[in-house]
A and B are shown apart, each in its own frame.
Chain A
């Protein structure tokens, strides 16, 4: 257990707030009574219940995203003391080791919905682009799947733990923010289509590349391996990666993202060459 003998009676939390998309951001500071074993989620819950700033002014509860509080759903990612991570596993005792103040900011690579809540739909869109699924015939009973070695499972399992939390893309220098606001008079469907089109032209990011590695390992998933590699060769594909290796350093699940990227880099090259030779073969017919 973490010692909390010399903890202060109170501590401060500074939060970068924003009332809505495209609105200016501003800081608000809150003061809370110290209790042992708090995490950032319980801090935000206390702030919501109190809805008062450090100097006693009434304010609105801070808006944030959370789900499981066990670091498996990926919802509660934010920038805490300049580090991107899940707020559920950010323990106050640890954060207070360096300072009496904790700083919370929304992720910078996604549009802010409100306060600490961001819209990560671009990451889910990337999973569509790379066909991150097993192309089974259907859901009728066709017996078990193919046998797989323990080694293969142990290689795939860590990749399958990716919770689309966004830490890797937040830390990635090649992944830049895309914020598109709905035009007046633009229908919701037209707006969604415009976003998809722009997302598809921009970097898919480490998480999606690693999912290609995962699905291309699976005996059935492999059957459309080249379609996934094609997606990684298009605009916004794997070539955008600048090999900064920040992604792997911040991944809360310690997914070997750079290994996935290196492997997919080689495979996309082979895939392109293979297609080039195949085309020459085709032209003979």
Chain B
């Protein structure tokens, strides 16, 4: 059987899915591309700020791929698996070169090179951007290439189809998927030699977030219910700056701060003066004061917590009955702002009716990105750090021949993602998975291809999903799926976002079980068989529960602070003593506690479905390249602790070297 007879099903047509599709097509592999929406409308369009890589200018300031890798794992609080992150950082400049060749309208310097801006969590200007609609521009470039392959017949699109779950044969190998046409409601099986899930984040579990209406997590949940492991569910990024809205919390890109935007509140609570009338001395630039080195560009988790803290705990919210702070761009020329940030400023103007060039924006944190997701594997290089290109293990879930890439995979961003790294991880994992799939398809054992599977397997799978669908239509009950979704969203938002408290998490886990029971007693207001969004929504809503449970249970079990996961009860406090000797003792004690905590909690949380329950277990994180070190942004005594930590690391290294040379002799 030739390569052209083998097919891969890619589910999801955002950056990751499209990158995988076009690369597979280039390798001569046929692709069925399935999406809830025309792929050009995928959620990647919402990404605003940019995409990171080391570049010729930063290189001469001392930057390199290793530092990009290091910033990523340090920013992620070392919960990232290091070999894939290392590989991604090595590829980053090439990914941007490719996107440049594909016609992305990146901003230019006056000499005609790609312009770069600075983003959070780094001191280098690594971020290439196309106005403030970088995600849209990158997505369109890939969409265009895929359309080219579609014209040549190598890609067949199934847009407006909902992925209902993978199909596995009796060896547990994925050989296809079941899906449903959103218009005709037809449920059918797709044969595929491999299935790649690229379905993005799960923000809708929180009701309102910065995510699109397609980001409901249902595809990930359906894989999980079929036996896939879900990693680090509790690591949910809350973006520091979003515009509150009734239907959605709209993102205000980090690039607003990258271009010089300043975050502040009036020192007088709810100062009634117009912001421009408040003199400098009466403004509290709390990020700049607390983090002089990074200023407004501290990593996202920290900016989020500080904004939350200044409003909730210090009572300094700009408005009385709504939490918000100022994000101020008014000190920058309007023409420059419009050139570099036009797209996002338009969003603010359109949705708030106020021009941010002249009036500071009012913003508050919102759920933004799922660092966690489907567990995926990788194969390390035999020599040196990084991954083995072309290995079928790369990006494979624990279900053989089922893959996950992009936001729905779990291993690149650890406990917190750096700005402008998501577009990179999506395109990178999409491009990188393709040669591995080629190897897989070239080495399928006799009888293992989808074409060799019995028709009965596919019929049974469709039938099972058809039954669920039919039962739901017939079901009587007094619950309303939309209201249950609202309740779920409110509960998740209060229990598992910025600040996490065990008593609240326990309560939420209890409530979740009740809510779940009610979710299965929904009566539909539409029982028709044509474009029935009511039944599709209800299924997606029911499938939110396993992921919600993974998030809550993962958060409950992680008794520490790591990246976006913040539990004040377990925070290691700063140093208190002014006496140098005592201060040194405190720093030593601090480092002891930190080490003990690393031993106990530097683990990937793994959630699996067991019957109706979600169970939590742990796996080691690969930290073979850069040993974990404390993240000390803004902590009292950071310098002292850092010195103690460096001494310890040095001693450990020396001891290891001594041991190595002793064993060599």
Contacts and interface: CB of A to CB of B under 8 A. Distances in A.
Given A63-B533, A133-B145, A71 B101 contact: no
A128 B23 contact: no
Interface string A128-151: 100111111011011111011110
A80 interface: no
Nearest to A64: B533
B108 A148 contact: yes
B150 A128 contact: yes
B590 interface: no
B38 A68 contact: no
Nearest to B434: A139
B112 interface: yes
Interface stretch (B296-304, B348-356, B402-410): B348-356
B351 A143 contact: no
B183 to A, nearest CB: 6
Contacts of A147: 111-113
A206 interface: no
Interface string B97-109: 1101111011111
Nearest to B103: A134
Between B105, B339, B480, B534, the greatest number of chain A beta carbons within 10 A of the residue's beta carbon is seen for B105
Contacts of B107: 150, 153
A73 B36 CA distance: 13
B136 A161 contact: yes
A117 to B, nearest CB: 6
Interface residues of A, number: 70
A195 to B, nearest CB: 14
A168 interface: no
Nearest to B530: A20
Nearest to A143: B97
A132 B144 contact: yes
B216 interface: no
A5 interface: no
Nearest to B151: A128
Contact of A72 (B136, B145, B147, B528): B136
Contacts of A218: 103
Contacts of A72: 45-46, 133, 136, 343, 347
Interface in A55-114: 58-61, 63, 66-75, 88-89, 91, 113-114
A37 interface: yes
Contacts of B151: 128
A69 B243 CA distance: 12
A45 B103 contact: no
Contacts of A63: 531, 533
Contacts of A71: 347, 350
A277 interface: no
B247 A42 contact: yes
A133 B147 contact: yes
Given A63-B533, A70-B248, A141-B98, A161 B43 contact: no
A181 interface: no
A30 interface: no
B103 A220 contact: yes
B22 interface: yes
Contacts of B431: 139
Contacts of B526: 51, 60-61
Nearest to B247: A42
Contacts of B183: 113-114
B41 A68 contact: yes
B448 interface: no
A127 B40 CA distance: 12
A51 B537 CA distance: 14
Contact of A35 (B23, B131, B246): B246
Contacts of A221: 103
Interface string B10-35: 00000000000011001000000000
Contacts of B96: 144
A7 to B, nearest CB: 14
A37 B166 CA distance: 41
Contacts of B141: 134
A42 B250 CA distance: 14
Nearest to B243: A70
Contact of B482 (A49, A91, A139): A49
Which of A70, A124, A160, A220 is the most central at the interface, judged by chain B CB atoms within 10 Å of its CB?
A70
A107 B526 CA distance: 23
A73 B212 contact: yes
B272 interface: no
Nearest to B353: A2
A240 interface: no
B293 interface: no
A1 B144 contact: no
Interface in B86-132: 94, 96-98, 100-103, 105-114, 130-131
Contacts of A75: 37-38, 41
B45 to A, nearest CB: 5
Contacts of A128: 147, 150-151
A171 B660 CA distance: 76
B566 interface: no
B43 A67 contact: yes
A75 to B, nearest CB: 5
B483 interface: yes
A121 to B, nearest CB: 8
Given A70-B248, A128-B150, A141-B97, A89 B343 contact: no
A58 B147 CA distance: 43
B251 interface: yes
A139 B144 CA distance: 13
Contact of B112 (A61, A124, A150): A150
Contact of A48 (B350, B528, B534): B534
Interface string B132-161: 010011001100110110110000000000
B625 to A, nearest CB: 23
A1 B352 contact: yes
Given A61-B526, A72-B133, A39 B105 contact: no
A38 B246 contact: yes
Nearest to A65: B37
B247 A133 contact: no
Interface in B139-190: 140-141, 144-145, 147-148, 150-151, 183
A73 B139 CA distance: 11
Given A70-B248, A89-B350, A145-B97, A160 B140 contact: yes
Contact of A39 (B41, B212, B214, B246): B246
Contact of B38 (A39, A124, A145, A161): A124
Contact of A61 (B213, B245, B525): B525
B41 A73 contact: yes
A60 B534 contact: yes
A224 B597 CA distance: 60
Contacts of B150: 128
Contacts of A157: 105, 130-131
Contact of A68 (B101, B109, B212): B212
A37 B249 CA distance: 12
A255 interface: no
5 nearest A-B pairs in the assembled complex, by CB-CB distance: A133-B144, A51-B525, A147-B112, A49-B482, A145-B100
Given A69-B212, A127-B147, A141-B94, 20 more contacts: A1-B352, A35-B246, A38-B246, A48-B533, A49-B482, A67-B45, A67-B212, A70-B251, A70-B347, A72-B46, A72-B343, A75-B38, A75-B41, A88-B247, A120-B38, A127-B144, A132-B147, A136-B102, A145-B97, A164-B40
21 contacts: A20-B530, A67-B213, A69-B212, A69-B248, A70-B46, A70-B251, A73-B41, A117-B531, A120-B38, A124-B40, A124-B147, A131-B148, A134-B141, A134-B145, A136-B145, A139-B22, A139-B431, A156-B105, A157-B131, A163-B136, A215-B103
Interface of B: 22-23, 26, 37-38, 40-43, 45-46, 94, 96-98, 100-103, 105-114, 130-131, 133, 136-137, 140-141, 144-145, 147-148, 150-151, 183, 212-214, 245-248, 250-251, 339, 343, 347, 350-354, 431, 480, 482-483, 525-526, 528, 530-531, 533-534
